[in-house]
Structure 1
Amino acid sequence: MKVEQRLWTIEKLIGLKAEINLNPAWQRGPAWKDARRVLLIDSILRDMDVPKIYLRKLPAGGLFKYEAVDGQQRLRAIWDFAAAPIAADKSKAFALNSPDALPPVGGCAIAGKTLAKLEKPLSDRFKAFKIGVGEIVESTNDEITVLFARLQMGMPLNPAELRNADLGPMRNVIQLMATSHEFFTGTRIKDDRTRHFDFATYAFAIGASNGTRDMKSPDLRELQREYNAKPMDEITALSAKVGAALNILAEVDQETGYRIIRKWIFVDLLLLIMQYQAAGKAIDITRFTIAYDAFEERRQQYTSEPDLLLNGRRRDAAPNDRALYDYLYAFRTEGAKAASLQKRNKALAKFFRRVEVR
């Protein structure tokens, strides 16, 4: 890897906006809250040091000249502060609002002001401010992954973001599933900080292991790296298996009265669907949805007091109460452990006994 150190003005970075990709596939989207964006701009106006930005130089002829390896949030905040106001997007041309009014800079007020409303000496100071830029002129994908992980140690990424940054064919296939499959395009699961990628990774882990493998964050990352080294036809076959199960879940999610937004419900239902499909059984969407609704209604009713399910004299006692108790009790150990997954799968199957097409 070869990195050349630069000092670029904010004015130059603004001029390069169209040439810098802030969202390479392995990066996260906007994550900074308003207070942090304001703090950055306030620091710049006061001539304080701000962390260096790392930009990877891309081959000539592409849509972008650079992609952001580190500093995405800082660049976005700078560009948004300098942007023209857009009525439908309050993040653009934001004002320097803070719970505690910001003190003046050099006798000039900044509190509550946008860039356009700052006095000219301050707006000129903002544009002339120099930021350290590490321009990565030679690198491999593996080197970028290592650099990205090291740079984030000051503010750790969540496990899904680290997996998303682990470049390779398996990551690319998971990302494609997370961004294009109808389950994720229609879900109510918010895609905050790569949550769709996280859920899709769990789907691939279930498909690869059939619930026989632990699914904690290190396990998922290890699995992703294992598949990165496998032939593409194996990755494609796994993707087809996952996609077929998600097709069923997408239809169920649109029909049910209990939208699928909880991670372990998502995982447990997918495992059950994959087992039916592996046995060559076609699932009746209506029957499966009815079974899921009945299960989920009961689960929500007793999730905080599962021991009540053992009282067979209750007025609402039902044949599958013991199975529901076993399902809920399995979470007393770690939900990501293979033993818990298998116990839940065995219990859940009792609620879905006649859901195949007849």
Structure 2
Amino acid sequence: MKLSKERYPVSVLKEVQDSIDVRPEYQRPLVWTLKQKRLLIDSILRGYDVPKMYWHRQPDEEQFEFHVVDGQQRLTTIWEFCNDGFALPKDSDPVDGISTAKLKYSGFNTELKKRLHLYSFDVVIVEEAIQNDEEDEVREMFLRLQNGTTLKAQEKRNAMTGRMRAFVKEVAQHPFFESCKFSNTRFTYDHIAAQMTCLELAGEPVSLRDSDLNKMYAEQTDFDPKGNVAKKVRRTLDYLTQAFPEHTRELERYNAVTLYSLASSLIDNYVHQGTEKKLADWFIAFETERRADMEKDEDSRDVQLVEYQRLTSYSTDAAESLAKRLEHMQRRFFLAAPDIELVDPTRIFSEAQRLAIYRRDGARCQLRIKCDGSEKLKWNNWHADHKVPHSAGGKTTVENGQVACPDCNFAKGAVG
């Protein structure tokens, strides 16, 4: 990694805004308060030392010439102030006898503008990283430079390298999150997406604390975004999006992960096609009942709802809490929807069943999607197919089985 140092006066920083990306994917969102922004402008006017910035030079074909590694808040504050985005406080002390109280940039006289424009920042330029390991160094630099600031755990994970980080970033863009009440402030969607992925990896309720998610990111750097776990996460979120196609205020941070676990279990173990509306109607009714119960006097409240409420308030990311909340949701949901059937636990036809199906169907394909069924199939070149799909409640029985040639069976899967 090659570093060089340059000096940029504020007057130049104003002009090069379009060539600087302050939000590369590893950066955190803008978090400075108005007080912090005002303090920076006041420090510049008084000539106080402000920490240097770090920029990463990009290849010529990229949209931006630089990505900001460190200095995001300072840069955006300068640009915002110079566009009259905020005023200095009413109790600001004069700068060399010049009052700055309640002034915006447009209210500055020539002397104040000169002080602002001529103030120069030291900028360390990280030259273009060609190799992947050099790009990793840039991310490591970002984490180290932020070490003394209040980065949230998910903001740190967002700057980590590896396929797990990339997969969580992808999942965080899923439309389901737009249906939730909570916003993506400081990578909240990424945090919830990481928890959902962690649950799917484990296949059961597990601890979802920051330390557990950090471990997942570290151990799953080679995570397969096309593997079974990734497919299951997407499939479950697709199901939830069908259940909640519009913004739903009942979808809070504390219940989104538990609801995901319930949906994931439905997909794995039950005939779930067409149950999306049932789940949504039940969930909204459940949340309405829970909120109404909280308004009752203590002696009149539902004991089970009191316990559920306690579990959503304390140790919410602990394995035991997640398991008990899921158990509570499952019990109430299946009481409200008793007609939902379990899928047949046996998915694969036995050799005896296969032989019976093969003889009954005369070794000829019954699907006839890609073929006409006239050719007699050899024993080592056919599939035993469920007439009623297993996922739709079809049983793994000879009666529900049929001979299918590989081409037709694959075509059936593609269209259904």
Instruction: Classify the TM-score, shorter chain.
Output: 0.7 to 0.9
After TM superposition, list the pairs within 5 Å mapping 1:160-239 onto structure 2. 160-179=154-173, 181-234=174-227, 237-239=228-230
1:146 maps to 140
1:350 aligns with 2:350: no
Q: Report matched runs for 1:66-215 at 5 Å.
A: 66-83=66-83, 93-98=84-89, 100-137=90-127, 139=129, 140-179=134-173, 181-215=174-208
Q: Secondary structure at the match of 1:233?
A: coil
Q: Deviations over 1:170-212 (max 9, x none)?
A: 2222212223x21123433122112122222222222222334
Contact 1:258/1:293 (<8 A) preserved: no
Could you tell me how far apart the structure 1 residues matched to 2:297 and 2:242 are? 30
The structure 2 residue matched to 1:259, chosen from 250, 268, 275, is: 250
Contact 1:160 1:198 in 2 (8 A): yes
User: Identity across aligned pairs (percent)?
Assistant: 25
Residue matched to 1:64: 64
Question: Matched residues in 2 for 1:266 and 1:307: separation?
Answer: 27
Indicate the structure with greater helix content.
1
Please report the TM-score for the alignment, with normalisation by the length of structure 1.
Answer: 0.84
Deviation, structure 1 residue 331: 5.2
**Shift in alpha-carbon separation, 1:112–1:229, aligned structure 2, 3 A:** same
Contact 1:102 1:111 in 2 (8 A): yes
* Higher relative contact order (CA closer than 8 Å, sequence separation 6+): 1
Distance 1:71 1:356 in 2: 58
String of CA shifts for 1:261-304, please: whole Å, max 9, x gaps: 2x231010100100111125225122212321232233334459
Flag the 1:29–1:331 CA change in 2: closer, same or farther, 3 A.
closer
| TM, length-normalised to structure 2 | 0.73
Q: CA deviation at 1:8?
A: 1.7
Matched with 1:246 is 237
Inter-CA distance 166–119: structure 2 relative to 1 (3 Å threshold): same
List runs of 5+ in structure 1 lacking aligned partners. Answer: 84-92, 309-313
1:46 shift after superposition: 0.7
Shift of 1:82: 1.8
- For residues 355 and 14 of structure 1, what CA distance do their matches in structure 2 show? 64
| RMSD value, Cα | 2.6
Matched length: 334
Q: Report the Cα distance in structure 2 between the residues aligned to 1:256 and 1:105, rounded to whole angstroms.
A: 50
**Cα distance change, pair 255–7 in 1 and its aligned pair in 2 (3 A):** closer
Unmatched runs of 5 consecutive residues or more in structure 2: 342-416
Of stretches 16-25 and 193-202 in structure 1, the one that deviates more from structure 2 is 193-202
Contact 1:5 1:133 in 2 (8 A): yes
Contact conserved, 2:14 with 2:79, CA < 8 A, in 1? yes
Match of 2:289 among 281, 298, 306: 298
Please name the residue that 2:258 is paired with.
268
2:235 alignment partner AA: A
Deviation at 1:255, TM superposition (A): 6.5
Q: Which residue of 1 aligns with 2:413?
A: none
User: CA 1:305 to 1:218, structure 2 compared with 1: closer, same or farther past 3 Å?
Assistant: farther
**Quick one: distance in 2 between partners of 1:238 and 1:306?**
45
The structure with the largest alpha-carbon Rg is: 2
What is the letter of the counterpart of residue 320 of structure 2? A
Q: Distance between the aligned counterparts of 1:277 and 1:167, measured in 2?
A: 31
Identify the residue that residue 411 of structure 2 maps to in structure 1: none
